[in-house]
Structure 1
Amino acid sequence: MVVIGGGTGLPVILRGLRDQDIEITAVVTVADDGGSSGILRNYVNVVPPGDIRNALVALTNLPKLERDIFQYRFDSSDQFLAGHAIGNLIITALAEMKGDIYQAVQELAEMMDIRGHIYPVTNEPLTLNAEFTDGTTLSGESEITAAHKQIQRVWVTPTNNADQHEPAAMHAVIEAIHDADQIVLGPGSLFTSILPNLVIKNVGQAVRESKAEVVYICNIMTQKGETDHFTDADHVRVINAHLGEHFIDTVLVNIQPVPEDYINFQAWNEISEPVQHDFTGLRAQGCRVISANFLRLRDNGAFHDRDKVVAELMNRLHDVH
């Protein structure tokens, strides 16, 4: 199984898959430019490590203390180290030592007793670019989201290279996609976690050509500045449009209502409203729709129930093969 994404959604699914009897490959976006990742990227000229760190922790067999140390984030009073996670610093140091983020992640995966494989989608940091429906463009994931404008399309360019060559995924990424029995997209930010991987030419081509079942885990809530007022069919429509064909086979949709008075929109300020359903629109794009209660309410927020999602993915894997 190949899981493609980034942000907070990817590690949720990876943690659930870690103990399943499958070979897991996580393909992780390298277009993040916010928080600790963004600062390290700007100062050290390295692939942003945050999403990679979370994937490593999700798949490690290390005891809880070691996991907690790796995830520990210095608080704001620490000035120089403020906001940095120890794992981000370790990944950055190894990447500098090896001169290669891919090799650094493979060595760290061995040190951390990882179950499966974790591949940065490219061996160089990428910048996310967006064109909005009003014709304007912006560069940088944080800037794009903060603009709160309707996005028409996104693409990626190399961050550090003046010749603006075509970004390409590592051979290991393409090989994993070609060998997969199931390819999972999401859950996660549509324009800033999922599409930055798929718009890389050889990744999109490999996913389109794959004989694997492509499963999209649709978000439960819409995201401010990205998917305001989107239905589940709108999410799929955008992904398909970026790759030029209807390639998503199956969509997992949560149909358990989110209680109106439960969500703390100040604490979870990236979300706006539950994703509305358009099953006719999904089927018109050739999708098999699996609708169920995938909802987990916690901390006044709405999330996917990891165990229920993973159980459905495993059911699909066994049904198809």
Structure 2
Amino acid sequence: MAYGENKIVRVIRGRRPKIVVIGGGTGLPVILNALKEQNADITAIVTVADDGGSSGVIRDYINVVPPGDIRNVLVSLSDLPQEEKDIFQYRFNSSDSFFAGHAIGNLIIAALDEMQGNIFDAVQSLSRMMRIDGRIYPASNEPLTLNAEFVDGTTESGETEITAKDKRIKRVWVTDTDSDDKPKAVLPVLAAIMQADAVVLGPGSLFTSILPNLMISNLGDAVRQTKAEVIYICNIMTQQGETDHFTAAEHVQVINDHLGGHYINTALVNGAKIDMTKFNPADYDAYLEPVRNDFAGLRAQDCRVITADFIDQHSGLVFHDGKKVADEILNLAFEAYSRREREQD
């Protein structure tokens, strides 16, 4: 290890370890920020199938990719002063029928999308403005619609509508919102996955934040083909309408089933007891219970299990401890690089 600019610098033969993180939702920025603090070479691939909240309203008014998850990832990897990041994250408190509840950053992303003509170039421009340490790539250059089939045989479209059904989901897939074209990821997304030392899935909503990315056909193919260590960060709590009563092994099984094989190499699973007396389900009713470990079920899928105290619990909420998770990811990235080196000798 070497040190510089108050950050730990870990290198693999003169370069920082290449980590690709794929997902969306509130858990993703926690992991990205921790990896940034350890000077990993980060590429964040962010879901574009969200249709809720401010993102969904903007998507209805302006035909753009929903910006919410992209906004949060930009802030997590930005080297701007905190005051400027706070402005970007600010939500209007106005009673105005349009601006109420909107984040300034969402409006800026939507404006740049229109100016640049596509979301990929818009995010690259904004990344330069916000002094991003790493790369941020939308999973697709076009807005996508999430579709689901439930175990009872019925189907539904749209993230919000799917979760509102509160039914067990059998499978999901994505379609281009505005055309019959097959959703595709752009070449930089695929190159990042193929060149990575580690590809990280999660944390985040299994069916609505992680799988929508993998269901983009060429992106899913890249995850199947990469020589990187494919790591799944298992959620700490189950989620109503998506993973009710799921074990850790069932989370991995769903991803493997959608990919068509055993492609998750390692699962990071919380092993610490959660103090439920500090947890207030009334405030966060989408979270039901701690995800139960199932080591036998994971090993049956050729998945290595790393279990540790991965939680940061305070103020009645349960989060992943970003530093602990980042440490494990970097260790696995070094292992994967060394393994490839041996195979090439």
Tell whether the structures are fold-level matches, with TM greater than 0.5: yes
State yes or no: 1:135 paired with 2:153. yes
* Separation (CA, whole Å) in 1 of partners of 2:147 and 2:29: 25
Q: How does 1:111-260 map to 2 (within 5 A)?
A: 111-161=129-179, 164-260=180-276
Q: How does 1:265-304 map to 2 (within 5 A)?
A: 265-304=281-320
* Separation (CA, whole Å) in 2 of partners of 1:137 and 1:93: 34
- In the superposition, relative to structure 1, how do residues 81 and 178 fare at CA in structure 2: closer, same or farther (>3 Å)? same
The size of the alignment, in residue pairs, is: 319
Partner residue of 1:102?
A: 120
* Separation (CA, whole Å) in 1 of partners of 2:94 and 2:246: 36
**% identical equivalent positions:** 63
* Separation (CA, whole Å) in 2 of partners of 1:181 and 1:289: 18
TM-score, normalisation: structure 2: 0.91
Q: Are the counterparts in 1 of residues 238 and 288 from structure 2 also a CA contact under 8 Å?
A: yes
CA-to-partner distance for each residue in 1:124-151, whole Å, 9 max, x for gaps? 0000000000000000000101110000
TM-score, normalisation: structure 1: 0.98
Deviates more, 1:262-271 or 1:170-179: 262-271
Partner residue of 1:39?
A: 57
CA-to-partner distance for each residue in 1:193-236, whole Å, 9 max, x for gaps? 00000011101100000000000000000000000010000000
Alpha-carbon RMSD across the aligned residues, in angstroms, is: 0.9
Partner residue of 1:319?
A: 335
CA-to-partner distance for each residue in 1:22-72, whole Å, 9 max, x for gaps? 211000000000000001111100000000000100000000000000000
**One-letter code aligned to 2:305:** V
Runs of 4 or more above 4 Å deviation: none
* Separation (CA, whole Å) in 2 of partners of 1:76 and 1:249: 48
**One-letter code aligned to 1:236:** V
Deviation at 1:76, TM superposition (A): 5.6
* Separation (CA, whole Å) in 1 of partners of 2:320 and 2:34: 11
Local SS of the residue matching 2:32: helix
Structure 1: gaps spanning 5 or more residues: none
Q: Are the counterparts in 1 of residues 147 and 172 from structure 2 also a CA contact under 8 Å?
A: yes
- In the superposition, relative to structure 1, how do residues 253 and 76 fare at CA in structure 2: closer, same or farther (>3 Å)? farther
Deviation at 1:9, TM superposition (A): 1.3
Partner residue of 2:12?
A: none
Deviation at 1:239, TM superposition (A): 0.2
Q: Are the counterparts in 1 of residues 198 and 336 from structure 2 also a CA contact under 8 Å?
A: no
Q: Are the counterparts in 1 of residues 197 and 334 from structure 2 also a CA contact under 8 Å?
A: no
